[in-house]
């Protein structure tokens, strides 16, 4: 087969066992802590054939080679832990809260200097690059929904001698491929869109740099941040439908963003797919779509926003994102959320249900929030 398969085909066909008569069409769940002596793996903390199948599929989507981890945060921590003491990390001031807590910890312990930037302000990021060891890009940002000029930032960072990592969780490789744009790392919380069913926690790192991959495998082995074989199997099963799930979720998100823009209980909608969004032109210039996260600021402040979330009947009131079900939450119910994120901001992870049913529920909940 040609190597030029499209992503919709790759998600279905990658990571399959070799064809043999009566052979498995799906990878086996390899439940083993140890293996017969004489091979390159030897022990279950060093490798597992079910991880390999999943890693092969993610590599086919992102490019490069992939190392899977027990969680997205374990993957992020593995990247940061490779930096020598005294390194400078330039990162988005709006990022996943766990990432921000890791960065704050590195700064507080004196292990690293962290420069926080508005990742959508290209000039500001470039000005912070001299002396930077690692530029950490999350785009679109969680939950600010700012979009970074990833192609320009990667070029500038490389010219300044900095490594670049992109947290590609929100966009997925269906919308942008950081390694093709020159990034050293593309990271996923596999928990979210790749696995897609809110039933497991996993992470991954893809890279074109074999030496970096070797160091990450070693870090996984020695930190013990290894995924369970069953989780890896489920994640690969989830990837089979990634393209259709994402297509539907994204279409639903666009429709909801438009309707929410006219809703009397909404002050502001943040979704780069809206032509009026400040990040629309940037997103359009290099992304293949706008994703399925919509953030709204609810009239009446945090209390009204909480009331809306608690009033939904179909839409799940919970944290996390990227599953088949629509769910929402007010982000500042977490004390670790960035202070510059508005207190009335609700993040909606749009699922694949009928958009009319989602809309009817969100509309009634928002109306209750204003009563
Ligand atoms: C959830 C999330 C993470 C952390 O992943 P876990 O799988 O929960 O450990 C990292 N980055 C982003 C953007 C996320 O949404």
**CA separation for the pair 51, 230 (Å, rounded):** 9
Q: What H or E segment, with its residue span, contains residue 244?
A: helix 242-261
Q: Give pLDDT tens digits for 277-320.
A: 999 999 999 999 999 999 999 999 999 999 999 999 999 999 99
Probe ligand 1: pick from 74, 98, 188, max atoms within 8 Å of CB? Answer: 98
What residues contact residue 177 under an 8 Å CB cut-off, 6+ apart?
61, 62, 63, 186
Distance 7 CA to ligand 1 centre (A): 23
Mean pLDDT across the chain: 97
What is the Cα–Cα distance from 291 to 312, expressed in whole angstroms?
23
Overall average pLDDT of the 53-63 stretch:
98
**E strands, 104-252, in order:** 112-117, 134-138, 163-167, 185-189, 203-207
Ligand 1 centre and the CA of 102: distance in Å? 12
Q: Are 90 and 119 in contact (CB under 8 A)?
A: no
pLDDT computed for residue 49 by the predictor: 98
Q: What is the mean pLDDT of residues 361-370?
A: 98
Which tokens sit at 351?
A: 């699922």
User: Can you give the residue ranges of every domain in the chain?
Assistant: 7-239, 243-369
217 pLDDT above the threshold of 70: yes
Residues with a CB atom less than 6 Å from ligand 1: 71-73, 96, 98-99, 138, 142, 167, 169-170, 189, 191-192, 201, 203
Q: What is the pLDDT of residues 151-188, one digit of tens each?
A: 999 999 999 999 999 999 999 999 999 999 999 999 99
Structure tokens at 86: 């005294």
Check whether domain 243-369 has CATH 3.40.30.10, yes or no: no
Q: Residue 313 C-alpha to ligand 1 middle, in angstroms?
A: 26
> Over pLDDT 90: what percentage of the chain?
99
pLDDT at residue 341 greater than cutoff 80: yes
In 3D space, the residue among 125, 155, 148 whose CA is nearest the CA of residue 278 turns out to be: 148
User: Is 116 labeled as catalytic in the residue annotation?
Assistant: no
Distances (CA, A) of 184 to 125, 135, 265, 334: 18, 10, 43, 31
Q: What are the φ/ψ torsions at residue 316 (nearest 5 degrees)?
A: -75, 135
> Domain 7-239, what architecture?
3-Layer(aba) Sandwich (3.40)
pLDDT at 4: 86
Tokens linked to 76: 């992020």
Nearest Cα residue to atom 6 of ligand 1: 72
Q: How many residues does the chain have?
A: 371
Q: What is the mean pLDDT of residues 232-245?
A: 98
pLDDT of 260 reads 98
Q: How far is CA 232 from the centre of its chain?
A: 17
Query: Which pLDDT tens digit goes with each residue over 62-84?
Result: 999 999 999 999 999 999 999 99
């Amino acid at each position: 087969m040609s190597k030029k398969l499209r992503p919709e085909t790759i998600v279905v066909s990658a990571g399959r066992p070799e064809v043999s008569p009566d052979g498995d069409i799906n990878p086996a769940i390899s439940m083993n802590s140890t293996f017969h002596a004489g091979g390159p793996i030897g022990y279950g903390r060093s490798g597992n054939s079910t991880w390999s199948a999943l890693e092969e599929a993610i590599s086919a989507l992102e490019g490069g080679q992939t190392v899977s981890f027990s969680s997205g945060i374990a993957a992020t921590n593995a990247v940061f832990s490779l930096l020598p003491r005294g390194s400078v990390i330039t990162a988005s001031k709006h990022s996943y809260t766990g990432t921000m807590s890791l960065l704050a910890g590195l700064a507080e312990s004196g292990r690293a200097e962290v420069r926080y930037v508005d990742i959508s302000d290209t000039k500001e990021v470039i000005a912070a690059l001299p002396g930077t060891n690692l530029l950490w890009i999350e785009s679109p940002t969680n939950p600010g929904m700012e979009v970074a000029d990833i192609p320009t930032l990667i070029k500038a960072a490389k010219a300044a001698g900095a490594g670049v990592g992109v947290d590609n969780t929100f966009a997925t490789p269906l919308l942008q491929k950081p390694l093709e744009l020159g990034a050293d790392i593309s990271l996923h919380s596999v928990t979210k869109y790749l696995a897609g069913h809110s039933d497991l926690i996993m992470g991954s790192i893809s890279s074109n740099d074999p030496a970096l991959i070797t160091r990450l495998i070693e870090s996984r082995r020695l930190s013990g941040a290894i995924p369970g074989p069953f989780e890896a199997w489920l994640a690969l099963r989830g990837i089979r439908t990634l393209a259709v799930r994402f297509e539907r979720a994204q279409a639903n998100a666009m429709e909801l963003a438009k309707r929410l823009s006219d809703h009397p209980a909404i002050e502001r909608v943040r979704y780069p797919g809206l032509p009026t969004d400040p990040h629309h032109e940037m997103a359009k210039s290099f992304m293949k779509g706008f994703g399925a996260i919509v953030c709204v600021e609810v009239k009446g402040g945090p209390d009204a926003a909480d009331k809306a979330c608690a009033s939904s009947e179909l839409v799940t009131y919970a944290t996390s994102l990227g599953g088949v079900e629509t769910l929402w939450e007010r982000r500042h119910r977490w004390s670790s959320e960035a202070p510059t994120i508005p207190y009335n901001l609700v993040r909606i992870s749009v699922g694949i249900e009928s958009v009319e049913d989602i809309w009817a529920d969100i509309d009634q909940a928002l109306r209750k929030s204003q009563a």
